[in-house]
Amino acid sequence: MTNAIFTGLMLGGMYALIAMGLTLQYGVARIMNLSYGEFLVAAAFASYWLFTGWALNPLLGLALVIPAGFGVSLLLYRVLLTPLVRRARTRGALEVDSILATFGMMFIVQGIMLSMFGGAYFSYSFLAIPVSLFGEILALNRLIAFGLAVAVGLALYLALTRTRLGTSIRAVAVDPMAAQLVAIDVVRTSAFAFALGGALVAAAGVLISMFLTFSASSGVIFTMKALIVVVMGGVGNLLGCLVAGLALGLSESLVATFVDPGLTLAVNFALFLGVLLVKPAGLFGRAQR
Amino acid sequence: MGSSVTRFAAGLLAVTGAALFAADGPALAQSSVKIGYAISRTGPNAGGAAVTTLPNYEMWVKEVNAAGGLKLGDKRVPIEVVQYDDRSSAEEAARSLERLITQDKVDFILPPWGTGLNLAVGPILNKAGYPHLASTAVTDRAPELAKRWPNSFWLLGTSAGAANTLVDLLVKLRGEGKIGDTVAMVSVADGFGIDLSGAARPALAKANFKLAYDKTYPVGTQDLSPIVNEVKALNPDVFIAFSYPPDTLGITEQARIASFNPKIFYTGVGTAFPLFKQKFGANAQGVMGIGGWSGDSAPIKDYLARHKASAANGAEPDRWASAVTYASLQMLQQAIERVGKIDREAVIKDLQTGTFDTIIGKVKFENNLPTKYWWVGQWQDGEFYGVAPAANEGARTPVIPKPAWKAP
Amino acid sequence: MLEVANIGVTYGQHHALTDASLSVGRGEIVVILGANGAGKTSLLKAIAGIVACLPGKRVTLSGRDIAGLPAHEIVEAGLALVPEGRGIFADLTVAENLLLGANPKRARDGEAARRERVLSLFPRLGERLGQTVRTMSGGEQQMVAIGRALMSNPDVLLLDEPSLGLSPLLVRELFASLRKVRESGVGLLLVEQNARESLAIADRGYLIENGKITGSGTGTELMSNDAVQRAYLGGIVASAL
């Protein structure tokens, strides 16, 4: 039982980690980024390359990959997405435009990865050592990823709720029209939020590469998972991300242990649908007026 | 740097589904042999195709053209390639093949990667009369398909063959007193896992093995530790996972972390990948898996060296279907050269009846199926040797029990 | 302080506002009276930079040209808008709304003192700092909106129908608060349908009809103006004054 719960928490922490960047990009910047998973895999490749080519510890690699994720996302927003933002009359229109634009982006990022690394599976071993926690044996790399997911989630949550910059990011998420009335540069703040999301997805990619096998084509899996967590937790809500991710991870691990591993997907979707039936805007979301 | 830029451009072209090499009208007096293929450069199959199929296609074309081309009669004719990305989709694969046949008018077609796509394109190749050397498809329908489509050759055999050979090996080892009765089996809930576990289940029962654990998990499961932990608690002698590459790596990693070390540890697709050795190093020792090759044979050693020199980043082939894929190309080449002209019907006939000298030894089809397969391999001192069927030339004696996991 | 000249707004073919000019002085309360659809809201939004204007306009604030600046820079320049429907962050708390109000750089110095002033002006907000604005009454939400605008340390405050949907008692309270705001030197430009209450506190006013400014005068002049009497005051009050 304890083992199932630990495993579930760690899996859930990973799901939350995957989803946090998307909730910022979608919730604040209103960009439904379909190339999200590709960016995650790109970060995983970057980490792989640094680790195997330069013997750089992935945890130290974070110091390079996170700023790179931020910079690339900022550039992407400025060059590709800002014209869409200026053109869009409503948020709905922006969402549709951004889906189309990032769908194209997905192929470009995938193509770059394919040409650089080929289509094969990649995996490396880092901190894949057992640690004993409350009498249960866990993999250290997963434990670290979980710890960082929780730490990053809480730190961001505090930053968003306790600082002026964070509050203004939330103000844009809540009401971009009103945000201009308090001297918030909505486009700039959205760009910042999008880039922050890019930094988060880069962090997630690095951490996940320590224990998951990935290939240039595996991005879509992560986009889907992130989307489920984001929608379930409430778009734009980091705490929702954390709770929804943990709920999915726990349910998956408990079902795999006590019922049948074949039912994990079914239970995931049942949970997802159940939440949306009771709270259509997600666990922590608010219905749009 | 220049090459990576061109490769980048090539990758871009490939993902947009565009043809890499434009065809320049019908060839006059056979100035080239046009060979076409649609392969999964993107999508879920891309990981397999990139390891097993593409490097072999590319290396073969490179080698043949370096020698001046295919020998047609008394002159050599270079190969011209037309290729598409089937995006891992059966519809797209079918469309691409139709295009290769009707628009590009290629002379020969190389098959896609994987069981599903080979089954999907079978009827098209049959109807158009192209030889179909399926070297990456494992299906129980192989004998039936070979009969229905006489142009098709199923080089990797049947899942029943894979499962029965494994169980035969277990029976033999039990007879030698090396293992006990309890078996734990997990399988991925997808084509490969369903077929293999479906064949293994009755075979294990018939051989009076105790199946202590028998569960499936969905494709793409990201954490397999609940399964490994539960299996470990049952303490079986034999652990069998009919898994896909990411799961194979995940299960092995988790087993090592949880110190789950049964006497036989067998995993599915991906065990024979060079990536497995790369990731687990000395810990690969004793792990069994599907596939294997005669790692000591000179042609295989030579093939390995050429593959490393030819493939991007010095990649090694996998130790199962890679060599079979390359051998299938050698067979196609020998058949074409023996016929001496582009006569697909005659080439099919030659493939059905001829004997071929390949890196996996002499091959002669019987009813369009080879007579020998490697079904169980084991990592021994950094090489994945075939261990069963034991009658195969070059079969190694399995190391039982599997040595304990080491700290990485 | 705020000088507006020749401002015009079109929505497609529809001319919402043509050649409007007006001014608001320091510590002055100016009211704009007009029927629904007369162009009042367009006028405020155009000044605040929320909707695009036709070329040729001139908008200066304390002598600085602010025409054509994006909305967020206009706030930075010292002009705050409380839009129709209040434009507050309904999902955030009172404290967060006030914090965001002080987001412009011009509002950072003396933020704490300003917050004290806002809370003394609207003591009820002080009791409910942690409450989510969505759950508050209409009057309280209006207080949040005005309080938030004041937190930006504005020179001029634009208010679009602040009395809409409030009970007569609350309206009186609200206008009393606005008078206090004016005492601190802030200029107020007020769009209203409640002519009686608003003219009572106004120094000057403008009449707007079909997108054009058709008249102006001091509060008392307008109060006794025939057209105003007929349109807004029911025509029976004049003698009483």
The amino acid that residue B392 corresponds to is N
Residues 6+ apart with CB under 8 A from C74: C48, C49, C66
Strand, coil or helix: B362: strand
Q: Which residues of chain B have pLDDT under 70?
A: 1-29, 408
> What burial class does residue B144 get, using C-beta atoms within 10 Å of its C-beta: 0-12 exposed, 13-18 middle, 19+ buried?
exposed
pLDDT at C237 over 70: no
Residue A91: phi and psi, rounded to 5, are: -65, -35
Chain C closest CA to A7's CA: distance in Å? Answer: 35
Q: Assess contact for A229 and A19: CB atoms under 8 A.
A: yes
Any idea what DSSP says for residue B293? B
Q: Are strands B238-242 and C156-160 parallel, antiparallel or unpaired?
A: unpaired
The per-residue pLDDT for range C27-46, each reduced to its tens digit, is 899 999 887 777 888 888 88
Cα B260–Cα B262–Cα B263 angle in degrees, nearest 5: 155
What is the Cα gyration radius of chain C? 17
Shortest CB distance from C87 goes to which of A164, A178, A185? A178
The per-residue pLDDT for range C94-103, each reduced to its tens digit, is 999 999 988 8
Which chain B residues are within 8 Å of A107, Cβ to Cβ?
15-16
Q: Average pLDDT, whole number, for chain C?
A: 85
> Do A181 and C75 make contact, defined as CB atoms within 8 angstroms?
yes
Q: pTM of the predicted model, to two decimals?
A: 0.79
**CA distances in angstroms from A267 to A11, A247, B218, B229, listed in the order given:** 15, 11, 12, 20
Q: What own/partner pairs with CB < 8 Å and gap ≥ 24 does B136-141 have? A: B136/B48, B136/B52, B136/B53, B136/B111, B136/B321, B136/B324, B136/B325, B137/B111, B138/B162, B138/B192, B138/B195, B139/B115, B139/B195, B140/B195, B140/B199
- Residue B378: its pLDDT value, please? 95
Cβ of residue A167 closer than 8 Å to a chain B Cβ: no
What is the spatial distance between Cα A115 and Cα B7, in angstroms, rounded to a whole number?
5
Q: Which chains touch A (3 or more CB pairs under 8 A)?
A: B, C
Q: Are strands B355-358 and B288-290 parallel, antiparallel or unpaired?
A: unpaired
Q: Assess contact for C159 and C146: CB atoms under 8 A.
A: yes
- Other CB atoms within 10 A of residue B147 CB: 11
- The helix or strand, by DSSP H or E, that contains position C109, with its residue range, turns out to be none
Which chain A residues are within 8 Å of B227, Cβ to Cβ?
256, 261
**String of DSSP letters for A135-168:** TEEEEHHHHHHHHHHHHHHHHHHHHHHHSHHHHH
Shortest CB distance from A129 goes to which of B10, B49, B407? B407
> Do C89 and A175 make contact, defined as CB atoms within 8 angstroms?
yes
Q: Quick one: how far is CA A35 from the chain centroid?
A: 12
> Do C90 and A164 make contact, defined as CB atoms within 8 angstroms?
no
Sign of the torsion angle spanned by Cα atoms A87, A92, A97, A101? positive
Cα C230–Cα C234–Cα C239 angle in degrees, nearest 5: 90
The per-residue pLDDT for range A8-57, each reduced to its tens digit, is 888 888 888 889 899 889 888 888 889 999 999 999 999 999 988 888 88
Q: Which residues of chain A have pLDDT under 70?
A: 286-289
* Strand order across the beta sheet in which B33-39 lies: B79-85, B33-39, B108-110
Q: Assess contact for C104 and C75: CB atoms under 8 A.
A: yes
Residues of A with CB under 8 A from a CB of C: 164, 167-168, 170-171, 174-175, 177-186, 286
Which chain A residues are within 8 Å of C80, Cβ to Cβ?
181
- Kindly identify which residue of chain C lies nearest to residue A162, measuring between CA atoms: C96
- Residue B200: its pLDDT value, please? 93
Cβ of residue A116 closer than 8 Å to a chain B Cβ: yes
- Residue C18: its pLDDT value, please? 83
The whole-number average pLDDT for the span C175-185 is: 87
Q: Assess contact for C216 and C207: CB atoms under 8 A.
A: yes
Q: Which chains touch B (3 or more CB pairs under 8 A)?
A: A
Sign of the torsion angle spanned by Cα atoms B346, B119, B144, B375? positive
> Do A180 and C90 make contact, defined as CB atoms within 8 angstroms?
no
Strand, coil or helix: B75: strand
Cβ of residue B366 closer than 8 Å to a chain A Cβ: no
The per-residue pLDDT for range B125-175, each reduced to its tens digit, is 999 999 999 999 988 889 999 999 999 999 998 988 999 999 999 999 999
Q: Tell me the two tokens of residue A244.
A: 């929804």
Give buried/exposed letters for B218-241 (b at 16+ CB in 10 A, else e).
bbbbbbbbbbbbbbbeeebbbbbb
The amino acid that residue B69 corresponds to is G
Cβ of residue B3 closer than 8 Å to a chain A Cβ: no
What is the spatial distance between Cα C46 and Cα A155, in angstroms, rounded to a whole number?
40
Q: Assess contact for B85 and B15: CB atoms under 8 A.
A: yes
Which chain C residues are within 8 Å of A177, Cβ to Cβ?
50, 87
**CA distances in angstroms from A225 to A142, A277, B293, listed in the order given:** 18, 19, 38
Confidence of residue C139 (pLDDT cuts 50, 70, 90): confident
What is the spatial distance between Cα C159 and Cα C147, in angstroms, rounded to a whole number?
12
